[in-house]
Amino acid sequence: MTGSSTPLAPAAFNYPGHGANAGIGVAICHGFTGSPLSVLPWAEHLARQGFAVSVPLLPGHGTDWRDLARHGWQDWYRAFEASYLELAAGTRHCYVAGLSMGGTIALRTAARHDVAGVAVVNPGLSFYDRRVRYIGLLKHVQRTTVPVQESGPTASATEDGDYSLTPLEAVHQLSRLFRAVLRELPAVAAPALVFKSDTDTVVPPSSLELLRKRLGSRELEVVGLPESGHVATLDVDAPLIFDRSVQFFLQHTATTARETP
């Protein structure tokens, strides 16, 4: 866990857990062009509560935009899945969580594995820009684009590498990930907690509408974040995310323990 004012380099975060909560694992996935730094305060908060925590650095992230273009969405998913499986093997109850695209990847993991629950922040399933529907063609005539920027961001900035440009090939991979996860959402049976910022200029409200419509779980709770933008884990409402997710993990762990003979 960190305590230095020196800027941190993007790197995976792992904590083995301690005390009464050591048997509870939470695998957290960062977002598109981001790094574990964007969810590090969340991970550290869970670690202080004694949870075992894993946050992998996804392939093509934490370096520069050229590296991002060399990896597909399945590379991103497999890296997180491997992190989850390793954590699950050493804990009694293992949850998945994520921010933005990381939330999308966490949802796919929940569709494919027997996770204890899923907690996501501003998960992406759709785009504001309608031109994305033509991205398979556009990437052949335009190599890069300027990344989506929030207007008047209030979240702390992190040094995630050089992503001053976004390869259209990577955007195409992101759109393919969204389509794949939309198909698999009905298979998600675990309880789900979704945090949604009121002023998110990166992920449109249609993503939450799609999630509500297609999620297979009978337990879906949505918590609004009235004071935060897209990277809410670093924003004003971050303490709400941290505290409410801890309650969610403990509540469902206790329920599962009561139901297990």
Active site residues: 100, 200, 230
Cβ proximity of 89 and 82 under 8 Å:
no
Cβ proximity of 238 and 252 under 8 Å:
no
Alpha-carbon span 98 to 120, nearest angstrom: 5
Cβ proximity of 104 and 122 under 8 Å:
no
User: Which residues fall within 8 angstroms of residue 154, CB to CB, at 6 or more apart?
Assistant: 227, 228, 229, 235, 236
Q: How many residues does the chain have?
A: 261
Cβ proximity of 117 and 51 under 8 Å:
no
Residue with token string 């918590």: 223
* Encoded amino acid at 204, one letter: P
Cβ proximity of 65 and 22 under 8 Å:
no
The single-letter DSSP state of residue 201 is S
User: Which residues fall within 8 angstroms of residue 74, CB to CB, at 6 or more apart?
Assistant: none
